[in-house]
């Protein structure tokens, strides 16, 4: 899937914006493997280019969420006291509110666009990483090499970035894979509501929105992007699950 999306500009059979009204809503054929949409655009080409938007936005927001949450969680555990308490209560509050609700509010208040979409999903997405990192950091902070670094006069920032975060990256990476599917579905959901990628751009969620009036005439219009979201989310989630199982086995063995 990743290789296909990376090579899309070279292997896509048609320009995704190319319209041919004489071929509108055509079924699968040798020329159009998945058929065409209501404007005669090739569904396979749109699926490939739309995947680049969906996967890239999900990946970027996931990376930013992981970085922000990891840093906040590590410093919160390191600082302790009232700061740690406030950060954790804020984390609990954001976790209690569905991501889509917060993202909808932010996008409705500040507008649409790639930048706003990424910012909104990052703001609602850092909390699971902060909670995980805080728990890991509390355990790491009790180790002897942390006490040795403190005895040598190392700063809190140095200890966090040199010792705490590097020793907690494996679980954070596993969580990232597990959360990718959630991000991808959220991106698709916002686009389906018209708050994600704006025309002339398109992603899998926008394809679902465009296909809704024609789904009974040509079900592939809905099935293709829906299956793409499901299979991509499932495959990445399974990778994350495998990493988490492997990590727990190694932890139990030691």
137 contacts 220 by C-beta, under 8 angstroms: no
Rounded Cα distance between 242 and 223, Å, is 28
Q: Give the pLDDT confidence of 54-70 residue by residue, as tens digits.
A: 888 899 999 999 999 99
DSSP 201-253: ---HHHHHHHHGGGTTT-THHHHHHHHHHHHHHHHHHHHHHHHHHHHHHHHHH
Which are the contacts of 155, defined by CB distance < 8 A and separation ≥ 6?
Answer: none
Rounded Cα distance between 218 and 32, Å, is 13
184 contacts 58 by C-beta, under 8 angstroms: yes
Show the tokens assigned to 102. Answer: 């917060």
**Per-residue confidence in pLDDT tens, the chain, 254 aa:** 677 777 777 888 888 888 888 888 887 888 888 888 888 888 888 888 888 888 888 999 999 999 999 999 999 988 888 988 998 898 888 888 887 888 888 877 877 777 888 888 888 889 999 999 999 998 888 888 888 888 888 888 888 888 888 888 888 998 998 899 889 988 888 888 877 777 767 788 888 888 888 888 888 888 989 999 999 989 888 888 887 777 777 766 65
Q: What predicted TM-score, i.e. pTM, was given to this entire model?
A: 0.86
Q: Give the pLDDT confidence of 219-248 residue by residue, as tens digits.
A: 888 898 999 999 998 988 888 888 777 777
66 contacts 78 by C-beta, under 8 angstroms: no
Q: What is the dihedral of CA 214, 220, 221, 224, to 10 degrees?
A: 160
CB atoms within 10 A of CB 4: 13
Rounded Cα distance between 227 and 219, Å, is 12
* pLDDT of the residue at 130: 92
Domains and CATH numbers, the chain: 41-252 (1.10.3720.10)
1 contacts 235 by C-beta, under 8 angstroms: yes
């Amino acid at each position: 899937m990743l290789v296909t999306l990376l090579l899309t500009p070279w292997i896509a059979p048609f320009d995704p914006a190319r319209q041919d009204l004489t071929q509108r809503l055509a079924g699968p054929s040798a020329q159009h493997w998945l058929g065409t949409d209501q404007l005669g655009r090739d569904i396979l080409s749109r699926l490939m280019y739309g995947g680049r938007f969906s996967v890239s936005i999900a990946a970027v927001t996931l990376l930013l969420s992981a970085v922000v949450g990891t840093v906040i969680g590590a410093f919160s555990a390191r600082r302790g006291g009232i700061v740690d308490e406030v950060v954790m209560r804020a984390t609990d509050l954001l976790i209690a509110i569905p991501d889509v609700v917060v993202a909808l509010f932010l996008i409705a208040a500040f507008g649409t666009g790639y930048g706003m979409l990424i910012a909104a999903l990052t703001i609602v997405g850092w909390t699971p990483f902060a909670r995980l990192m805080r728990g890991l950091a509390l355990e790491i902070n009790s180790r002897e090499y942390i006490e040795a670094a403190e005895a040598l006069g190392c700063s809190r920032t140095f200890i966090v970035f040199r010792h705490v975060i590097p020793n907690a990256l494996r679980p954070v990476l596993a969580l990232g894979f597990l959360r990718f599917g959630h991000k991808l579905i959220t991106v698709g959901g916002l686009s389906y509501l018209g708050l994600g990628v704006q025309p002339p751009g398109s992603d899998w969620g926008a394809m679902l929105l465009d296909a809704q009036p024609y789904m009974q005439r040509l079900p592939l219009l809905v099935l293709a992007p829906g299956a793409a979201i499901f299979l991509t989310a499932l495959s990445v989630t399974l990778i994350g699950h495998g990493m988490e199982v492997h990590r727990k086995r190694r932890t139990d063995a030691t």
